[in-house]
């Protein structure tokens, strides 16, 4: 009996001890994470010398590392943590996405997205209060979709990548001096995150590794975290790479609940791996004397070589371009990347330029380089300004324009490379044996819709795409649809001598009012998007020239009138589809194809229809009401009222095109 009692007492004291230690979690990893037993997933590793490396030079990956035990967070809990991190981008001109300190109910994020989502959220749960996630992000890329302030900031994130509060990276060295820091400099930096559970106040402070904790925090926010966090929660780090790649490291970490964490001794932290360049500088002193001898001998040769080289890689840089520095690529780099613009690297060519695949020297980032010849210098300044502004567009359903380079009579545009090429290849069996299933197609349609909505309505200025069609939609490695070529059509006008004679767009996608007025609007984009939706569902081009001319929208409309609209779908879809969704897209395709611009929905509404947040308008009523829209019942009228007033010249919907924005990036071709 007594024994049992003692045992029970011992047990009790052990459990209370454990509880106490959990309740007041405290740990420090100052000379490596080898013993930390962190819970890791993705590509995170502990390097041989004890660094926590979240990501390495592999793209499209997410990584997490969490302290293994849960941490008790009640409504009175305070905590403080400090850690040292470093971000090494693959190249100084192309930042990675960044990393975050995270407190979360779980240690894994299987549904979270890579890239700008930092491995934390996805498009549907970003901003969802059910996430119960608190994070401090160290963001190295400006994402307008999340309202990022710049490409080098610290932000407090609550359940969302739209930071509640953010500030450019740096610290208050004293009351009068703010010292900027560059997150992606590769140099270790220290962070302090403190939460006062009684004042309900969060503060985040950044500093150089060799300074004491700055007195003034970079960010403070009044917020009761107990309303956000679950009890218990886990603490750790998250990071991801997309096409943009950086290595994210944590060198040391100290954490304490309800008290001051132990100080990190920065001299004891594991060292970052040496950069390749540094090795050279160690060897250099030995080699230098030898080298200088050779140099003299070679000088003569070099001068000749140099002159040739200068000519080969010469660029045009004007004073006004200086502000665009980061967007400007060196011709030499692009030349090397594309192996001298070799034919083998050619992805496609259109009426006004060729697109080459390239591998950027050093960073090993894959890009697509478009070479456009331009005649006049007139308007060049405005043209480049617009290119740079377009280059600031960031959306997961748009192909990013990374920058440009200018030579005599030649302009080079550098884009993200899309490994899976253009969508039309998959729709029209040019990739034998590969058919996109319904889920993929629906996701592509929704993605392109949201990209277009961003161009039309969400960005700071309205960008009309002018040439939406399957061959301008590129597929990234996860088969997300990304719209390429946006705004370029308009831009090209500035630099081209013959632009005014061009009608931009592609037959079959061009709104009727567009052929008359030649003024592209967001509504004419919606028309093209309608044709695009039908194209994706039916795997047929808007206009096909056979023995008889086939007009897709007319055919779908006919089936709809017979109550058989579902028959329009691509046979190859098999049986794995939702009738409701297929019908929705087909009907929406018809709705967007209305010949009267004012009756077409805007892209915001299209997105809502596609997400089934808003039901489609009562369709039959809409179609038969002549006053309401262009659909009159009647035989030939139908065709015209659908806006099918195409010239029946020898076009197959694409090739006798007048588009100047033809197949920029028809990757994979």
Ligand X SMILES: *[C@@H]1O[C@H](CO)[C@@H](O)[C@H](O)[C@H]1NC(C)=O
Q: Which of 13, 15, 48, 124 binds ligand X (CB under 6 A)?
A: 124
Please report how close the Cβ of residue 451 comes to ligand X at its closest, in angstroms: 14
Backbone angles phi, psi at 449, to 5 degrees: -60, -45
Please report how close the Cβ of residue 271 comes to ligand X at its closest, in angstroms: 18
Rounded Cα gap, residues 77 and 235, in angstroms: 14
Q: Is 41 or 521 the residue whose CB approaches ligand X more closely? A: 41
Short-list 483, 492, 327, 511, CA closest to 402: 327
Q: Which of 3, 4, 111, 310 binds ligand X (CB under 6 A)?
A: 111
Q: Is 180 or 278 the residue whose CB approaches ligand X more closely? A: 180
Q: Is 150 or 216 the residue whose CB approaches ligand X more closely? A: 150
Please report how close the Cβ of residue 146 comes to ligand X at its closest, in angstroms: 5
Touching ligand X, residues 2-41 (CB under 6 A): 37, 39
Question: How far is CA 191 from each of CA 86, 260, 440, 476, rounded to the nearest angstrom?
Answer: 11, 14, 41, 35
Backbone angles phi, psi at 404, to 5 degrees: -145, 170
Q: Which stretch binds ligand X (CB under 6 A): 51-59, 83-91, 460-468, 576-584?
A: 51-59
Question: How far is CA 426 from each of CA 58, 368, 654, rounded to the nearest angstrom?
Answer: 27, 20, 16
Tokens of 537: 């569902």
Q: Which stretch binds ligand X (CB under 6 A): 50-58, 339-347, 550-558, 614-622?
A: 50-58
Rounded Cα gap, residues 661 and 654, in angstroms: 12
**Residue 168 binds ligand X (CB under 6 A):** yes
Please report how close the Cβ of residue 17 comes to ligand X at its closest, in angstroms: 17
Q: Is 94 or 660 the residue whose CB approaches ligand X more closely? A: 94
Short-list 129, 113, 135, CA closest to 235: 135
DSSP-assigned letters across all residues of 498-527: SGGGPPPS-TTTS-HHHHHH----HHHHHH
Q: Which of 33, 101, 146, 529 binds ligand X (CB under 6 A)?
A: 146
Please report how close the Cβ of residue 310 comes to ligand X at its closest, in angstroms: 33
- Residue indicated by tokens 């990276």: 169
**Residue 609 binds ligand X (CB under 6 A):** no
Rounded Cα gap, residues 125 and 384, in angstroms: 37
- Is the separation of the CB atoms in 468 and 483 below 8 Å? yes
Binding mask 55-94 for ligand X (x = CB under 6 A): -xxx---------x------x-------------------
Rounded Cα gap, residues 152 and 134, in angstroms: 20
Q: Is 224 or 493 the residue whose CB approaches ligand X more closely? A: 224
Q: Which of 82, 125, 354, 651 binds ligand X (CB under 6 A)?
A: 125
DSSP-assigned letters across all residues of 85-117: EEEEESSSSS---EEEEEEES-S--TT--SGGG
Q: Is 130 labelled a binding residue?
A: no
Q: Is 41 or 515 the residue whose CB approaches ligand X more closely? A: 41
Q: Which of 25, 126, 140, 496 binds ligand X (CB under 6 A)?
A: 126
Please report how close the Cβ of residue 31 comes to ligand X at its closest, in angstroms: 17
Catalytic (active-site) positions: 467
Give the CA angle between residues 550, 553, 557 to the nearest 5°.
Answer: 110
Q: Is 57 or 410 the residue whose CB approaches ligand X more closely? A: 57
Number of residues that bind ligand X (CB under 6 A): 23
**Residue 147 binds ligand X (CB under 6 A):** yes
Q: Is 142 or 349 the residue whose CB approaches ligand X more closely? A: 142
Rounded Cα gap, residues 253 and 86, in angstroms: 13
Touching ligand X, residues 412-471 (CB under 6 A): 458
Please report how close the Cβ of residue 42 comes to ligand X at its closest, in angstroms: 8
Q: Is 45 or 628 the residue whose CB approaches ligand X more closely? A: 45
SS (H, E, C) 245-272: CEEEEEEEEEEEECCCCCCCCHHHCCCC
Q: Which stretch binds ligand X (CB under 6 A): 117-125, 291-299, 506-514, 550-558?
A: 117-125
Q: Which stretch binds ligand X (CB under 6 A): 144-152, 296-304, 329-337, 503-511?
A: 144-152
SS (H, E, C) 421-481: CECHHHHCCCCCCCCCCHHHHHHHHHHHHHHHHHHHHHCCCCCCCCCCCHHHEEECCCCCE
Q: Which of 122, 174, 314, 648 binds ligand X (CB under 6 A)?
A: 122
Beta-strand pair 52-55/246-257: antiparallel
Helix (H, G, I), strand (E, B) or coil at 658: coil
- Which element (helix H / strand E) includes 192? strand 189-196
Q: Which stretch binds ligand X (CB under 6 A): 143-151, 341-349, 375-383, 391-399?
A: 143-151
Please report how close the Cβ of residue 663 comes to ligand X at its closest, in angstroms: 30
Short-list 652, 504, 530, 551, CA closest to 596: 530
Q: List residues bridging with 248 in a β-sheet.
A: 55, 87
State which residue has the least CB distance to ligand X: 147
Q: Which stretch binds ligand X (CB under 6 A): 17-25, 120-128, 397-405, 495-503?
A: 120-128
Helix (H, G, I), strand (E, B) or coil at 27: strand
Q: Which stretch binds ligand X (CB under 6 A): 1-9, 123-131, 330-338, 571-579?
A: 123-131
Please report how close the Cβ of residue 655 comes to ligand X at its closest, in angstroms: 37
Tokens of 350: 């259109």
Rounded Cα gap, residues 261 and 263, in angstroms: 6
- Is the separation of the CB atoms in 255 and 235 below 8 Å? yes
Please report how close the Cβ of residue 390 comes to ligand X at its closest, in angstroms: 18
Q: Is 112 or 511 the residue whose CB approaches ligand X more closely? A: 112
Q: Which residues bind ligand X (CB under 6 A)?
A: 37, 39, 43, 45, 56-58, 68, 75, 111, 122, 124-127, 145-147, 150, 162, 168, 180, 458
Residue list, annotated binding site for ATP? 371
- Indicate the annotated binding residues: 371
């Amino acid at each position: 009996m007594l024994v049992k009692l003692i045992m029970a007492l011992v047990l009790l004291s052990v459990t209370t001890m454990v509880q106490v230690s959990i309740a007041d979690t405290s740990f420090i990893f100052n000379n490596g994470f080898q013993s930390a037993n962190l819970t890791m997933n993705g590509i995170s590793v502990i390097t041989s010398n004890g660094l926590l490396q979240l990501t390495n030079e592999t793209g499209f990956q997410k990584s997490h590392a969490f302290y293994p035990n849960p941490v008790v967070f009640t409504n009175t809990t305070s905590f403080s943590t400090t850690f040292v991190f470093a971000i090494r981008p693959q190249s100084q001109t192309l930042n990675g996405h960044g990393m975050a300190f995270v407190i979360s109910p779980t240690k894994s994020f299987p549904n979270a997205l890579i890239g700008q989502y930092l491995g934390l959220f996805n498009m549907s749960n970003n901003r969802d209060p059910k996430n119960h996630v608190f994070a401090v992000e160290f963001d190295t890329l400006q994402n307008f979709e999340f309202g990022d302030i710049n490409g080098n900031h610290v932000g407090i994130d609550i359940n969302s990548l739209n930071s509640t509060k953010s500030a450019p990276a740096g610290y208050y060295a004293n009351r009068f001096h703010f010292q900027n820091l560059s997150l992606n400099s590769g140099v270790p930096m220290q962070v302090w995150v403190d939460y006062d559970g009684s004042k309900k106040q969060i503060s985040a402070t950044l500093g150089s590794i060799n300074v004491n904790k700055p007195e003034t925090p970079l960010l403070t926010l009044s917020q009761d975290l107990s309303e956000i966090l679950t009890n218990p929660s886990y603490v750790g780090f998250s990071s991801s790479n997309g096409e943009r790649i950086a290595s994210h490291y944590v060198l040391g970490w100290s954490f304490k609940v309800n008290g001051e964490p132990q100080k990190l001794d920065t001299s004891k932290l594991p060292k970052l791996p040496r950069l390749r360049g540094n090795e050279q500088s160690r060897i250099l002193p030995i080699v230098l004397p030898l080298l200088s001898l050779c140099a003299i001998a070679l000088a003569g040769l070099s001068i000749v070589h140099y002159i040739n080289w200068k000519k080969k890689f010469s660029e045009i840089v004007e004073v006004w371009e200086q502000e665009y520095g980061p967007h400007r690529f060196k011709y030499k780099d692009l030349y090397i990347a594309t192996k001298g613009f070799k034919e083998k690297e050619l992805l496609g060519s259109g009426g006004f330029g060729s697109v080459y695949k390239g591998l950027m020297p050093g960073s090993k980032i894959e890009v697509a380089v478009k070479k456009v010849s331009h005649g006049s210098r007139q308007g060049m300044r405005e043209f480049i300004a617009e290119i740079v502004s377009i280059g600031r567009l960031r959306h997961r359903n748009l192909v990013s324009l990374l920058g440009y380079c200018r030579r005599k009579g030649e302009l080079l545009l550098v884009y993200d490379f899309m490994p899976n090429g253009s969508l039309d290849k998959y729709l029209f069996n040019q990739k034998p044996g590969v058919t996109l299933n319904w889920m993929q197609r629906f996701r592509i349609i929704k993605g392109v819709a949201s990209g277009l909505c961003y161009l039309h309505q969400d960005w700071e200025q309205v960008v009309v795409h002018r040439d939406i069609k399957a061959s301008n939609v590129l597929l990234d490695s996860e088969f997300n649809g990304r719209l390429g070529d946006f705004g370029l059509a308009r831009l090209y006008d500035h630099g081209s001598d013959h632009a005014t004679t061009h009608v931009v767009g592609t037959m079959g996608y061009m709104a009727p009012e567009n052929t008359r007025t030649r003024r592209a609007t967001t509504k004419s984009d919606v028309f093209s998007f309608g044709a695009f939706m039908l194209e994706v569902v039916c795997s047929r081009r808007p206009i096909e020239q056979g023995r008889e001319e086939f007009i897709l929208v007319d055919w779908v409309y006919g089936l709809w009138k017979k109550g058989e609209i579902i028959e329009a779908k691509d046979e190859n879809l098999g049986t794995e589809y939702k009738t409701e969704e297929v019908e929705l897209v087909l009907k929406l395709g018809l709705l967007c194809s209305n010949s009267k611009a004012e009756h077409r929905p805007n892209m915001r509404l299209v997105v809502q229809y596609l997400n089934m947040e808003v039901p489609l308008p009562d369709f039959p009523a809409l179609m038969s009401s002549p006053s309401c829209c262009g659909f009159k019942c009647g035989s030939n009228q139908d065709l015209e009222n659908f806006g099918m007033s195409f010239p029946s010249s020898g076009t197959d919907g694409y090739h006798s095109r007048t588009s100047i924005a033809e197949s920029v990036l028809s990757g994979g071709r």
